Structure 1
């Protein structure tokens, strides 16, 4: 699934440079740091971080995603990174990877056993762990709920495989039960996607949201209603959400 979405994912994340800059600025990094990115995708965070630190290790289950990450690193002239194509659940600490100073994960904790995933992240970090995740709804806004219901004749599924991901409170409570008393910062976020035409928007949405061909007329109607015209030409889709940054220092985790 993620191999098929890699191209669109890479393009859409590059349209969110302000969000990326803000997140990277939140990390306490120095030139001697080593950073582990869990679920690194196409390198939205790994690439700018590699410019600032000694070494980055990017873990992702999708070869397609990592291919784009490697291309993005090469475009920036970066070589201080390593890619590991594995699910985080299958990564073996001490064998596949060594401990890193900082461990990060951005909207990538879709595992069945979140406690195990979080415990492994904590064990892999020497200094700090940072998690960027949703605060409330993330992927769907109210308009997209309407689109989903019209296409599939049912509400969006919650949880794994559906349009909603568990938000930061679930992660926070699991960490609390583990004896990790994390810090939380809630932030407003605006996601802007740009398209040259309605036809381009339709094709990209069909791919990224796996919308069947027979539902294209509904999708086209929805986008025609919700895309905004830009002064310089083209169209934009704006979504306003809230995100959370959960983080803790190893010395403060228990």
Structure 2
């Protein structure tokens, strides 16, 4: 496989006026960047570093629910087929969802995790499960140099951690430090919280929430790089479940950076309308699909 940048020329035409514009081999990479730049213009939105550095927000959002989390983790690990004893890089590893079970199987795992909250959770699991063959790099992937990672990895994982503005640069670095397979997990369809943000942000803060790029964009970026990734539909995310309206309001007051009684009333009115009864719980949306993209670097 040739992983050098794709070079394209416009199709020929007898009439110069009919010639199409030259194909932009960085089109999807720039689309991704522009959408991430649009987040910077959203009033009071903040950034991913601020979010993942806030212990209350992380515990409210990330650690909520996940009753079938272990089953999903096993399914994804099976889909990656990483042999025991492999040298593995896990980018944005969170609390060690994959890093801990891989290390327990004898893999030599390097974790890149910028969030101090997540590193605290990861360290607790390392101590609890007496994991020794795991190294943590407390940086963003954007700030890591390939040279500091040592020998190439047999597998590189980035699972729902693709918040980088320059996604092309991030992917090039993953490819450069891998001698086996790269595995990416990302949203195939927008998650429910994206729709909530789109609905409420203009009323709460002004401005329009631009949404998030999805896995089809990611595949297009890779295609422009002449990396022809496999794509498989990932485990469906179940809809968020809440015991009552108050629980949903509490979560999204954090997500939406609400600080005033008027904002809380807006959020409460929204969820009183949008949540639906399902057995003994209230649910938001219908769940969503993720995608597993992977390719070999050799």
Shared fold per TM-score greater than 0.5: yes
Q: Give the distance between the partners of 1:79 and 1:193, measured in 2 at CA.
A: 35
Q: Give the distance between the partners of 2:108 and 2:142, measured in 1 at CA.
A: 22
Q: Give the distance between the partners of 2:157 and 2:61, measured in 1 at CA.
A: 19
The partner residue of 2:228 within 174, 177, 181 is 181
Are 2:55 and 1:8 aligned?
Answer: no
Are 2:248 and 1:201 aligned?
Answer: yes
CA distances 1:213-234 after superposition (whole Å, capped 9, x unpaired): 3411121222333445565x56
Q: Give the distance between the partners of 2:75 and 2:273, measured in 1 at CA.
A: 31
* SS across alignment from 1:102: strand
* SS across alignment from 1:12: coil
Q: Give the distance between the partners of 1:203 and 1:99, measured in 2 at CA.
A: 44
Question: 5+ residue gaps in structure 1?
Answer: 158-163
The partner residue of 1:28 within 74, 81, 90 is 81
> Which residue in the other structure is 2:137 paired with?
84
Bigger Cα Rg? 2
| Contact 2:238–2:286 (Cα < 8 Å) also in 1 | yes
Q: Which has the higher contact order (CA 8 A, sep 6+)?
A: 2
TM-score scaled by length of structure 2: 0.71
Q: Give the distance between the partners of 1:54 and 1:79, measured in 2 at CA.
A: 10
Are 2:117 and 1:64 aligned?
Answer: yes
The partner residue of 1:129 within 172, 182, 190 is 182
CA drift of 1:119 comes to: 0.9
| Contact 1:202–1:223 (Cα < 8 Å) also in 2 | yes
- Cα–Cα, structure 1 residues 239 and 83, in superposed 2: closer, same or farther, change >3 Å? farther
Are 2:218 and 1:171 aligned?
Answer: yes
Q: Give the distance between the partners of 1:196 and 1:101, measured in 2 at CA.
A: 43
CA drift of 1:197 comes to: 4.3
The partner residue of 2:96 within 17, 29, 43 is 43
CA drift of 1:43 comes to: 2.4
- Cα–Cα, structure 1 residues 97 and 200, in superposed 2: closer, same or farther, change >3 Å? farther
> Which residue in the other structure is 1:107 paired with?
160
Question: 5+ residue gaps in structure 2?
Answer: 1-49
| Contact 2:159–2:186 (Cα < 8 Å) also in 1 | yes
> Which residue in the other structure is 1:161 paired with?
none
CA distances 1:161-195 after superposition (whole Å, capped 9, x unpaired): xxx22122332222223222111113462234444
> Which residue in the other structure is 2:169 paired with?
116
> Which residue in the other structure is 1:160 paired with?
none
Q: Give the distance between the partners of 1:249 and 1:19, measured in 2 at CA.
A: 23
Let me know the Cα RMSD of the aligned residues. Answer: 2.7
- Cα–Cα, structure 1 residues 13 and 181, in superposed 2: closer, same or farther, change >3 Å? farther
